[in-house]
Amino acid sequence: MAILGGGILKRAMAVVGSQEITLLRFVSRAQNAAGIDVPVYAAPVKFPAQVQPVPHAQFVYLGLDFQKDYVRVYASCFMGDLQRDKEADRFIYAGTLYELVSNDDWKRPQGFLDTLAVKIK
C-alpha cells in the first residue's frame, strides 16, 4: 500500500516529465538610491517542477484578472506567497518572470506545493 507523502509529485513527474524553474526567494526590503523600499531576493536556486497554464474557464471561479497570465506550479520545495509585511517569492520559467500569488497548503502533507503565480510583465 502506498503511503501519502511518499513522493506523489516525484512519481508523477517521472511519468509526465518536469520543467526547471529558477526560484528567487524573498529575503528583505532595502532602500534604493531614490529612497524607495524594494524587495531583495536570495541567489537563484533551480528546482524541478510542473508548470501548467491556468485555463481561462477557471478565471471567474478563482477571481483572476483576465488581463493577466497565470500558471500553477507544482513543486517539492517551499515557495512563499504574498503575505503581510513580506513580498512573494518569484521564479523564472522559460525566460519569463512570475510572482507567487497563493499556495494551497493542503497538498504539503503529500510532499508538494500547488502554487498559483502571475506573469510579471
Q: What amino acid occupies position 66?
A: F
Cell numbers 477571481: residue: 63
The CA–CA distances, whole Å, from 53 to 58, 68, 111 equal 11, 12, 22
- Residue 46 in grid coordinates: 533551480
**pLDDT (tens digit, 9 = 90+) per residue, 79-120?**
766 666 678 899 999 999 999 887 665 455 566 677 889 999
DSSP 10: H
Q: Which domains does the chain have, with CATH numbers?
A: 8-119 (2.40.10.270)
The pTM assigned to this predicted structure is 0.77
- Coil, strand or helix at 101: strand
**pLDDT (tens digit, 9 = 90+) per residue, 6-40?**
466 666 666 666 788 999 999 988 999 999 999 99
